[in-house]
């Protein structure tokens, strides 16, 4: 586990990167992927990571960890990083909505 951000450096393999060839995924599809991703990265049982679980209060993820996780999520979906306050995305559903919105805006350009 990294001393700097509390996120494990060496993990079991992360879930496969989502296949975006079929188009933009739904929020529910992204949430399902994020449940697997967050559970693997944070080393929590998948059952503890639910769509409406509060990332900070229920999972104990501080703002620095939230930023690191959001950077990794954005990269998983092939999006360019942007400066954003990760702590405003309180739940996996919030993060999924952000990802889907970014994917939609990227596909329009």
Q: Which of 54, 103, 43 is nearest to 76 (CA)?
A: 103
Domain boundaries, the chain: 27-108
Could you tell me the pTM of the whole model? 0.83
Q: What is the average pLDDT score of the chain?
A: 86
Quick one: pLDDT at residue 94? Answer: 98
- 3-state secondary structure at position 19: coil
pLDDT of 11 above 50: no
* CA separation for the pair 80, 61 (Å, rounded): 23
- For 28-69, the DSSP string reads HHHHHHHHHHHHHHHT--GGG--TT-BTTTTT---HHHHHHH
Q: Give the CATH number of domain 27-108.
A: 1.10.1200.10
pLDDT in tens, 71-108: 999 999 999 989 888 989 999 999 999 999 999 998 76
């Amino acid at each position: 586990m990294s001393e700097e951000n509390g996120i494990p450096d060496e993990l079991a393999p992360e879930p496969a990167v989502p296949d975006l060839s079929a188009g933009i995924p739904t929020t529910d599809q992204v949430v399902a992927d994020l449940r697997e991703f967050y559970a693997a990265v944070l080393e929590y049982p998948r059952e503890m990571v639910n769509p409406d679980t509060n990332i900070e209060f229920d999972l104990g993820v501080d703002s620095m960890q939230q930023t690191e996780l959001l950077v990794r999520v954005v990269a998983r979906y092939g999006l360019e990083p942007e400066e954003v306050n990760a702590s405003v995305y309180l739940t996996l559903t919030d993060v999924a909505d952000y990802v889907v919105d970014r994917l939609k805006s990227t596909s329009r350009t």
